[in-house]
Amino acid sequence: MTTPRKRRANGDESRRKILAAAAEIAGERGYDGTSISAVSERSGLPASSIYWHFADKDELIAAVIRDSFERWRSLMSAELDREDGTDPRTRLTDSMRQNGRAVVEAPDFLRLGLMLTLERRPKEPAARTLFLGVREEARSAAQASYQRIFGDTLTETDTLTLAMMAMAATDGLFIAREVDADALDTDIAFELIGVALNAVAEHLQARHVPKKRRTTSRPEN
């Protein structure tokens, strides 16, 4: 006899198989090339099982993005919430290095999200809307982390600038890695982004330091 606990476990396992299959197919074929029948074949589960978990393909792809993002966030949480006496420059570099590792471990939300973001359709898929939402969550978390790191030496606008630059750099390095993973040492590349962001932070801090007024000495009579 199947117990409720066993049924839940079976349902969770089926859901994991469906999400894994959908992530693989969408990564290979894109949103339009993904179908319930293809996911059924790849996962080894009937279409009825997929429809039991998800209303349609759009909801399925949105779930893939959300699941991958939650994995990325769990891998990043220790760095984003970190509060210790470590030098701010080190904390920022460590955060970017961990970001690179997290993206490698949970790449699907970024891979599928960027695909959807760059495509235009008459009706926007729910998956695209969800990606833009989790992207804003990531931006907000990064900005809050930078505010803790640099305190009142940077304004809210400054930390927003840093967060947007970090996201843009992550997008670029992720695409470069997708093109040729062997040509890119992820740890070093993201560490260098951290170094660059520290330089930007120093530049922004310097803008808030009052400039000394020049004094001209009078010639002696």
pLDDT-derived band of residue 29, with 50, 70 and 90 as boundaries?
very high
Cα angle at 102 between 99 and 108, to 5 degrees? 120
Mean pLDDT of the chain, nearest integer: 89
φ, ψ of residue 220 to 5 degrees: the values are -70, 145
Instruction: Identify which of 129, 136, 120, 18 has the alpha carbon closest to the alpha carbon of residue 67.
Output: 18
Instruction: Identify which of 90, 40, 104 has the alpha carbon closest to the alpha carbon of residue 198.
Output: 90
Q: Which residue has the higher pLDDT, 209 or 107?
A: 107
Q: Same CATH fold, 64-206 and 8-54?
A: no
Q: For the chain, what are the domain ranges? A: 8-54, 64-206
Can you read off the two tokens belonging to residue 206?
């310097």
Cα–Cα dist 133/163, whole Å? 15
Position 173, amino acid: L
Q: pLDDT tens digits for 146-168?
A: 998 899 999 999 999 999 999 99
* Sign of the four-CA dihedral 133, 186, 95, 202: negative
Whether 115 has a pLDDT exceeding 70, the answer reads: yes
H or E, element range at 111: helix 108-118
Can you read off the two tokens belonging to residue 5?
């606990």
The rounded percent of the chain whose pLDDT value lies above 70 is 90
Mean pLDDT value across residues 208-220: 59
pTM > 0.85: yes or no: no
Cα–Cα dist 192/186, whole Å? 10
**CATH topology for the 64-206 domain:** Tetracycline Repressor; domain 2 (1.10.357)
CATH no. of 8-54 = 1.10.10.60
Mean pLDDT value across residues 161-189: 94
Sequence-ordered strand ranges (E) for 14-168: none
What 3-state DSSP class applies to 38?
A: helix
pLDDT-derived band of residue 172, with 50, 70 and 90 as boundaries?
very high
Mean pLDDT value across residues 52-69: 95
Whether 128 has a pLDDT exceeding 80, the answer reads: yes
